[in-house]
Amino acid sequence: MKTISYSFLIIAICFLDACKKDFLVQNPPTAIPVANAIVNTNDMADAVNGMYSAMTPASLFGRDIPVLGDLLADNTYISIVNSGRYLAENNYSYVSTNGEAADIYSGAYFVILQANRIIAAQISNGAANSPDENELKGEAYIVRALNYLQLVNFFGQPYTVAPSSPGVPIVTAPTNPNNPYIKPARATVSAVYAQIISDLDSAYAIMPAGGTSLHPTDSEYLCKYAAKAIESRAYLYKGDYANAEAAALLVVANGGYTLTPSSNLVAYWANPAPVSDKTETIFELAQTETENDGFDALSAIYSQDGYGDVLATPDLDNTYSATDARGQLILPGVRGGFNVFVNNKYSNLENQTDKDDIKIIRYAEVLLTLAESYTRNGDQTDAQKYLNMVAETRDPSFTGYKDSGTTLLNDIINERRKELAFEGLRFFDLTRLNVPIVRPQEQDSAPSDGLIPVGYYKRILPIPKAEIDANPNTTQNPGYLN
The model's confidence at residue 2, banded by pLDDT at 50, 70 and 90, is very low
Work out the number of other CB atoms within 10 angstroms of the CB of residue 178: 7
pLDDT digits (tens, 9 = 90+) for 110-133: 999 999 999 999 888 777 889 999
The amino acid sitting at 344 is N
Of 284-293, 408-417, 461-470, where does mean pLDDT reach its minimum?
284-293
pLDDT, position 106: 96
In the predicted structure, residue 26 carries a pLDDT above the cut 60: no
Over residues 237-264, mean pLDDT: 98
Backbone angles phi, psi at 189, to 5 degrees: -55, -45
pLDDT, position 124: 80
pLDDT, position 19: 40
d(CA 283, CA 190): 26
> Is residue 212 within 8 Å of 135, Cβ to Cβ?
yes
Over residues 312-339, mean pLDDT: 98
> Is residue 195 within 8 Å of 116, Cβ to Cβ?
no
d(CA 302, CA 478): 33
DSSP state of 342: E
Of 26-30, 213-217, 312-316, 375-379, where does mean pLDDT reach its minimum?
26-30
d(CA 53, CA 220): 11
Task: Give the chain's mean pLDDT.
Answer: 91
In the predicted structure, residue 439 carries a pLDDT above the cut 70: yes
pLDDT, position 177: 56
d(CA 69, CA 57): 16
Over residues 11-22, mean pLDDT: 38
d(CA 154, CA 161): 14
pLDDT digits (tens, 9 = 90+) for 89-115: 999 999 999 999 999 999 999 999 999
pLDDT, position 178: 59
Over residues 405-425, mean pLDDT: 98
Over residues 215-243, mean pLDDT: 97
Classify 345 as helix, strand or coil.
coil
- Report CA 375 to chain centroid distance, whole Å: 25
pLDDT, position 180: 58
The model's confidence at residue 469, banded by pLDDT at 50, 70 and 90, is very high
Over residues 437-444, mean pLDDT: 97
pLDDT, position 11: 39
In the predicted structure, residue 332 carries a pLDDT above the cut 70: yes
Over residues 158-187, mean pLDDT: 87
The model's confidence at residue 15, banded by pLDDT at 50, 70 and 90, is very low
Work out the number of other CB atoms within 10 angstroms of the CB of residue 103: 21
Classify 126 as helix, strand or coil.
coil
In the predicted structure, residue 176 carries a pLDDT above the cut 80: no
> Dihedral through CA 251, CA 370, CA 344, CA 68, nearest 10?
100
In the predicted structure, residue 222 carries a pLDDT above the cut 50: yes
243: nearest Cα among 362, 377, 368: 377
d(CA 139, CA 118): 9
Over residues 283-303, mean pLDDT: 92
Q: What percent of the chain has pLDDT over 90?
A: 84
Over residues 466-482, mean pLDDT: 95
pLDDT, position 401: 98
Domains of the chain listed by start with CATH number: 1-60+98-209+450-482 (1.25.40.390)
In the predicted structure, residue 21 carries a pLDDT above the cut 60: no
In the predicted structure, residue 22 carries a pLDDT above the cut 50: no
295/72: higher pLDDT: 72
Over residues 310-314, mean pLDDT: 98
- Report CA 177 to chain centroid distance, whole Å: 32
